[in-house]
Amino acid sequence: MLFMDNVMLKLNIKSLLKLFLIPLCWLFLPVSHSVAESRLVHSIDFSKPADGDARPWLAKNGYIQELDADEIEVYLGNNQLNLITDGEKSGIFALQLTEKNYLKNITRIEIEWGVSRQPKGADWEEGNNRVPIALMFFFGTEKISSGLPFGLNAAPYFLSPFIGRKETPGKIYIGKLYKEGGRYLCVAISEGSAGVIKSTIKINPRFMKLFKKADVPPLTGIAFQMNTTDTEGGASAFIRKIEFYAD
């Protein structure tokens, strides 16, 4: 499936990724640990595959490459998935779950990741919404308007946590598009020390506060991206593990 319609149209993704974001609110605060008992329902552990080029493993597991993804170095090593670029690139690796594999009743997502090199000039506070690494979690199958005419690029609700540098952890951003269905969350900052950052995203009840929904839809898609467009020096980042929990 195509990403973001089925989730995003290829011809329009580049312009969408370059849209400025504006601050919205402070609902999400970083959480160091979970206080509620819950069960692990799914895990993406990048320490398991053999070291080397990650593309065969990603393709085998259903990930689709979009934009400049084929120009980003992506490999498995040091018990993690590594993404590196020395130039201005924007790439997405997206996984659309099949209906039988939807993750239901998700209440918490745990992420182990980090940044080894930050792109110079990335600054969401100033409107240059670039990221060394970001994740995207899609919920439900309802297509929410992107803000473009004729229903173009409508997509499910999504949360996109990212590691920033000049941003404030806990701050939420909303874009010029996807004002109803998309939220971008700065969950941590890094100067590029390559240290492992452990992030916790609590879905319920924050999801309902953000999108004013009575229930949290099942998680239907997962993606990760690197975007160094309009920056200098490239970027280097990694993901070790993503775990999904349900109470």
Nearest to 172 by CA among 44, 10, 21, 48: 21
Does the pLDDT value for residue 7 go beyond 90? no
240 in helix, strand or coil?
A: strand
Residue-level pLDDT at 176: 67
What are the sequence ranges of the domains in the chain? 3-9+24-246
Q: What are phi and psi of 158, to 5 degrees?
A: -145, 150
* 223 Cβ contact partners less than 8 Å away, ≥ 6 residues apart: 3, 7, 92, 93, 94, 95, 135, 136, 138
> Which CATH number fits the domain 3-9+24-246, given the four candidates 3.30.420.40, 3.30.1490.20, 2.60.120.260, 3.30.460.10?
2.60.120.260
Tokens linked to 175: 């874009």
pLDDT digits (tens, 9 = 90+) for 102-158: 999 999 999 999 999 999 999 989 989 899 999 999 999 999 887 888 777 788 999
Are the beta carbons of 138 and 155 closer than 8 angstroms?
yes
Predicted structure pTM score: 0.83
pLDDT of residue 154: 82
Of the pLDDT bands very low, low, confident and very high (cuts 50, 70, 90), residue 171 is very high
Is 100's pLDDT higher than 80?
Answer: yes
| 221: Cβ contacts below 8 Å, ≥ 6 apart | 7, 94, 95, 96, 97, 136, 137, 138, 156, 158
Confidence (pLDDT) at 180: 85
pLDDT of 207: 84
Cα gap 84→69, rounded to integer Å: 11
The strand pair at 182-189 and 155-164 is best described as parallel
Query: For residue 8, is pLDDT > 90?
Result: no
